[in-house]
Structure 1
Amino acid sequence: MLRLVVLICAVFAGAYAQSTQSCTVNSGNLPLHTIIEGCEAAPCALPQREDLVLHAIFKPPYSLDSMRTLATFYLSIGAISIPVPYDLGEISYTCNYLNNRSCPVNQGEILHYTLRLHIEEIFPQGTSAPVEFRVIDDATHEAIFCVRVPIVITAPLSVA
């Protein structure tokens, strides 16, 4: 399993450095590695009616029974940045989307998490904003990790 993690990290090393950043508003360290499928440079172009697929490889700082993913968009109006929390609904239950494990998890385990967020048409084309994805301990609300992704919403890839 460790070899698989190392291989994934090596293959996608360039995408990590260019498309994700440390969070600037929310607390939490970066995961060991983050991959946004189809995004090699910021901002990541997200077509309506498609999925943003984020892979994060991380080590929990302590044992956890349950984790939750939170998303916050930061819309700029002039010099003001307005936080807009986005309810992830069912996909906020991080433990359900661990690829190599289920909860509870132990401190220091290498975990691979995949978040698949559908870009609805309610997100207006041309919207450009950073979004912070933060995984928290469900019990204490302490940040496990946080990653900031600059995005821009684009037209759908195909017309139905």
Structure 2
Amino acid sequence: MLHTIVIFGAVLALVSGQTTQVSQCTKNPGELPLNTYIAGCGTPPCQLTQLEDAIINIIFEAPRAMSSMKTLATAYLSLIGLPVPIPYDLGDNAYTCNFLDNSYCPVVEGEILVYTLYMYIESTFPVGISPTIEFRIVDQDGGAIVCIRVPITITAPKALTARNSTVKVVDTA
């Protein structure tokens, strides 16, 4: 019965367009989740707006019983053709258990978890850069649970974009 619900949910997500194409991590261990949706992004690179929260919805199956989980983010910038890892501090948003939508910790093996990650895009990420980010969820012992890799592009804050597109009309009469 549980597998039927999971399959139905995955099909519903696909039909409603609520899936973002993500890849298996290359730098960190972890399985792909059942489904990932980054708000406003179906096909990467995902446009993430500076000074706003990126909202990442992840559905995954708990591979084992766990008392706690933590989400880690690493951006990879290409310098001279080599990927340079830059850990990104998620602050309080890193405590995965606080953002489970359908459960709470501890979780049991085989439990289907619906998780929403909020990642604030700081001004330290310059507008126009296009890193690839790996998001990974680990258990209380640091053991890999899931890991996704997605290219992004940082865009200007909406207020700044709106201000720059305003045209002033000067009356010369």
Q: Secondary structure at the match of 1:158?
A: helix
Q: Which residue of 2 aligns with 1:129?
A: 131
1:158 paired to 2:159: yes
Alignment of 1:59-138 (within 5 A): 59-138=61-140
CA contact (8 A) 1:76 1:129 kept: yes
Q: C-alpha separation between the residues in 2 aligned to 1:106 and 1:12?
A: 29
Q: Which residue of 2 aligns with 1:11?
A: 16
TM-score relative to the length of structure 2: 0.84
**Post-superposition offset of 1:21:** 1.1
Tell which deviates more after alignment, 119-128 or 58-67: 119-128
CA contact (8 A) 1:60 1:109 kept: yes
Q: C-alpha separation between the residues in 2 aligned to 1:10 and 1:35?
A: 13
Q: Over the residues paired in the alignment, what is the CA RMSD in angstroms?
A: 1.8
Q: C-alpha separation between the residues in 2 aligned to 1:47 and 1:92?
A: 20
CA contact (8 A) 1:12 1:35 kept: no
Q: C-alpha separation between the residues in 1 aligned to 2:14 and 2:145?
A: 20
Q: Secondary structure at the match of 1:58?
A: strand
CA contact (8 A) 2:17 2:42 kept: no
1:144 paired to 2:145: yes
Listed as ranges, the gaps of 5+ residues in structure 2 are: 164-173
**Post-superposition offset of 1:78:** 1.5
Listed as ranges, the gaps of 5+ residues in structure 1 are: none
Is the radius of gyration larger for structure 1 or structure 2? Answer: 2
Over the matched positions of the two proteins, sequence identity in percent amounts to 47
Number of residue pairs matched? 156
TM-score relative to the length of structure 1: 0.90
- AA aligned to 1:87 is D
Q: C-alpha separation between the residues in 2 aligned to 1:76 and 1:50?
A: 24
Deviations 1:17-45 (A, max 9, x none): 3xx11111100010000000101211101
